[in-house]
Amino acid sequence: MIQLNEGTSGNIVALTLNENTTISAPIYYLFEFIGQDTNTSVEFLATDTTWDRCRFNLFNIELVSVANIDLTQAKINLSGGRYKYNIYQQNSSSNLIPANALGVVETGFVQVNIPITQTVYEDQENNNIVYNG
């Protein structure tokens, strides 16, 4: 399961995609996140930053505001909750349509964690009125 946390400069995600990748370089990975509550999907490209691809693949996925979305640089906007993911292999550095990709290399789940902010209310009167019968 992938864990993404809002409020960080990026989420480093380690996956083993090479074992199911059947195409040769250049290889690009198209990520598709499907919300379990809304059934809406977000597709984006993430750059593999791994120095040793035979063992694992590293990706940096950043949760950003709507104004800063960049789907070709893995800067996405998601609400908190659980998502299903599909990762596709492809030779295109710009395709964001899963039907045009060359096949699924991994599926799983994503948990998006949004920090809870607590509001403290001060300067309120504390009058407890008791009514008897």
CA–CA separation, 32 vs 40, rounded Å?
A: 10
- pTM of structure: 0.84
Domains and CATH numbers, the chain: 2-113 (2.60.40.10)
> How far is residue 33's CA from residue 109's CA, in Å, rounded to a whole number?
9
> Does residue 13 register a pLDDT over 80?
yes
pLDDT tens digits, one per residue of 49-106: 988 777 899 999 999 999 999 999 999 999 999 999 999 999 999 999 999 999 999 9
List the structure tokens of 75. Answer: 């800067």
- Per-residue pLDDT, 133: 64
Smallest CA-to-CA distance from 46 within 81, 84, 15 is with: 15
Residue 43, SS3 per DSSP: strand
Omega cis (within 30) before 26: yes
Task: Report the Cα 65 to chain-centroid distance in Å.
Answer: 13
pLDDT value, residue 69: 95
Helices (H), the chain: none
